[in-house]
């Protein structure tokens, strides 16, 4: 039989029929996936409730979930939120386990909805999209105008293609200080500018003599360095502060704590301060930036800085090699410490093979004995409290059980929400006590 004849015998499905078939299968799979997510949330709830995750080395339940299940932070956040409030939202979580609600829907509810709103949102979620749920939760009537103070200090940063925008919020008292400082720096810059460019230049940056990039355009048409703006003043302030810091601590990366170390007793204490626990002593000694005074029988016998300090070059090599915290599942890149695998006080050298970058959290966890880090650096083994090696691998593997038997997912209605007719959730006053 030729292939053309076979093609002719295959019943031809219309586009419409094929789409319907795809959607039918998708409904089935979505429901199964929801139900599986429900089982995952239930397990994570158990792990959270009983604190089973404490020995894993993870910083948060969300971090643990992202690591072990190979999920994005956002998805892991939904799992962790739903697990955290598992008992508080029985109807929503049951609907998830039965495949009727999705993890994202329940995650949004668990993350933001008010207490006692399980019934309200279980109803709404059966017809609403994640976006609609978010909106509904945002218009929730809050129990009482919370006297929570407004965020008085905040710092945020938005990185664009060519520029970065900072947004800083401080109380007005602090703002006055910032204004005064900026004003003073700008004045100094303007004085410099006038000295270099003559005093006949305009001093109004808004004047049309400035082109789009802020360069001062002389009437002859050529451009000169721009007249100092507040942004320049700010950058100058940062530079000056930075220079002062470097001058103050030429070798320091972030601290110049002085530690006394009794070489016989292995005891340490902070200069003019308290005795250190073994873990804190090791942590400080490891993190190279403190100054160590070695003592024997109460006499200072030397300063141990030279062998501990990590040169800029070594630090760069270390950053190039490790990039992030070396503890599997962490990936943190901020404020990394250089840890001596064989501890410095045990004779571990300050060399690349004996150093790894770890985040402050894991560094503390290690020196407190919660995780072990064994080298050399190129054959690193990190184990948790129970001695199991930590890996970056997710837990996923082919299933050995059939998928949950649940009906197909019907999903949200997909209708335009009529917010004017919507009654937001309002917490009910607690019932009067029986006595």
Q: Where does this chain touch Zn ion (CB under 5 A) — which range of 7-15, 190-198, 297-305, 329-337?
A: 329-337
Ranges within 359-378 binding Zn ion (CB under 5 A)? 359, 362
CB of 197 to Zn ion, least distance (A): 51
Could you say whether residue 382 binds Zn ion (CB under 5 A)? no
Instruction: For Zn ion, give the closer residue by CB, 57 or 77.
Output: 57
CB of 265 to Zn ion, least distance (A): 21
Measured CA to CA, the distance from residue 258 to residue 284 in angstroms comes to: 9
Ranges within 6-45 binding Zn ion (CB under 5 A)? none
Judged by CB under 5 A, the residue of 36, 327, 406, 417 near Zn ion is 327
CB of 150 to Zn ion, least distance (A): 32
CB of 311 to Zn ion, least distance (A): 18
Instruction: For Zn ion, give the closer residue by CB, 181 or 314.
Output: 314
CB of 367 to Zn ion, least distance (A): 6
The DSSP bridge pattern shows strands 291-296 and 258-262 to be parallel
Measured CA to CA, the distance from residue 324 to residue 330 in angstroms comes to: 8
Instruction: For Zn ion, give the closer residue by CB, 103 or 330.
Output: 330
Provide the token pair at 407: 């009906």
CB of 201 to Zn ion, least distance (A): 53
Instruction: For Zn ion, give the closer residue by CB, 85 or 362.
Output: 362
Helix (H) or strand (E) holding 358: strand 355-358
Judged by CB under 5 A, the residue of 110, 330, 371, 390 near Zn ion is 330
Burial label, 70 (beta-carbon count in 10 A; 0-12, 13-18, 19+)? middle
Residue appearing with tokens 């109803």: 123
Could you say whether residue 339 binds Zn ion (CB under 5 A)? yes
Instruction: For Zn ion, give the closer residue by CB, 332 or 383.
Output: 332
Helices 73-84 + 61-69 axis angle, to 10:
130
The answer to whether the CB of 260 falls within 8 A of the CB of 296 is: no
Measured CA to CA, the distance from residue 367 to residue 195 in angstroms comes to: 56
The DSSP bridge pattern shows strands 258-262 and 267-270 to be antiparallel
Measured CA to CA, the distance from residue 43 to residue 6 in angstroms comes to: 51
Instruction: For Zn ion, give the closer residue by CB, 348 or 411.
Output: 348
Of the candidates 92, 88, 117, which has an alpha carbon nearest to the alpha carbon of residue 106?
92
Q: Is 159 helix (H, G, I), strand (E, B) or coil?
A: strand
Instruction: For Zn ion, give the closer residue by CB, 103 or 359.
Output: 359
Instruction: For Zn ion, give the closer residue by CB, 205 or 328.
Output: 328
CB of 361 to Zn ion, least distance (A): 6
Measured CA to CA, the distance from residue 237 to residue 222 in angstroms comes to: 29
Could you say whether residue 350 binds Zn ion (CB under 5 A)? no
Of the candidates 409, 407, 408, which has an alpha carbon nearest to the alpha carbon of residue 101?
409
Could you say whether residue 325 binds Zn ion (CB under 5 A)? yes
Q: Where does this chain touch Zn ion (CB under 5 A) — which range of 45-53, 163-171, 328-336, 344-352?
A: 328-336
Measured CA to CA, the distance from residue 356 to residue 375 in angstroms comes to: 9
CB of 228 to Zn ion, least distance (A): 42
CB of 337 to Zn ion, least distance (A): 7
Could you say whether residue 276 binds Zn ion (CB under 5 A)? no
Task: Compute the 3-state secondary structure of the chain and give helix, strand, coil in percent, each to the nearest 5.
Answer: 45, 10, 45
Site residues (CB under 5 A) for Zn ion?
286, 325, 327, 330, 332, 339, 359, 362
């Amino acid at each position: 039989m030729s292939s053309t004849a076979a093609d002719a015998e295959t019943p031809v499905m219309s586009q419409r029929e094929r789409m319907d078939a795809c959607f039918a299968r998708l409904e089935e799979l979505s429901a199964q996936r929801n139900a599986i997510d429900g089982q995952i949330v239930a397990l994570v709830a158990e792990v959270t409730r009983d604190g089973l995750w404490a020995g894993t080395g993870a910083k948060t339940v969300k971090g643990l979930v992202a690591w072990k299940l190979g999920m994005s932070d956002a998805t892991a956040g939904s799992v962790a939120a739903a697990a955290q409030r598992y008992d508080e939202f029985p109807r929503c979580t049951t609907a998830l386990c039965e495949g009727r609600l999705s993890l994202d829907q329940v995650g949004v509810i668990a993350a933001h909805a008010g207490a006692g709103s399980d019934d309200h949102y279980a109803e709404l979620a059966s017809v609403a999209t994640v976006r609609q749920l978010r909106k509904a939760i945002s218009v929730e009537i809050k129990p009482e105008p919370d006297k929570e103070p407004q965020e008085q200090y905040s710092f945020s940063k938005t990185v664009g293609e060519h520029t970065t925008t900072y947004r800083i919020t401080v109380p007005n008292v602090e703002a006055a200080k910032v204004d005064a400082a900026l004003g003073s720096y700008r004045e100094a810059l303007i004085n410099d500018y006038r000295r270099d460019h003559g005093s006949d230049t305009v001093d109004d940056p808004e004047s049309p003599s400035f082109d789009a990039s802020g360069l001062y355009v002389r009437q002859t048409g050529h451009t000169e360095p721009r007249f100092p703006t507040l942004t320049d003043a700010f950058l100058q302030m940062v530079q000056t502060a930075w220079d002062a810091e470097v001058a103050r601590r030429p070798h320091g990366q972030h601290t110049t704590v002085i530690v006394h170390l009794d070489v016989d007793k292995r005891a340490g204490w902070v200069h003019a301060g308290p005795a250190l626990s073994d873990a804190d002593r090791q942590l400080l000694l490891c993190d190279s930036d403190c100054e160590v005074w070695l003592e024997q029988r109460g006499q200072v016998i030397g300063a141990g800085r030279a062998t501990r300090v990590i040169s800029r070059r070594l630090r760069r090599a270390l950053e190039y090699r490790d990039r992030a915290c070396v503890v599997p599942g962490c990936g943190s890149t901020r404020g990394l410490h250089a840890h001596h695998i064989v501890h410095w006080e045990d004779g571990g050298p300050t060399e690349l093979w004996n150093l790894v970058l770890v985040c402050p959290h894991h560094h503390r966890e290690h020196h407190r004995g919660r995780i072990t880090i064994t080298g050399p650096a190129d054959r690193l083994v990190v184990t948790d409290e129970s001695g199991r090696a930590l890996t970056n691998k997710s837990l996923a593997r082919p299933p050995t059980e059939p998928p949950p038997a649940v009906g197909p997912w019907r999903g949200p209605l997909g209708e335009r929400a009529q917010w004017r007719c919507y009654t937001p959730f309002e917490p009910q006053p607690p019932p009067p006590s029986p006595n």
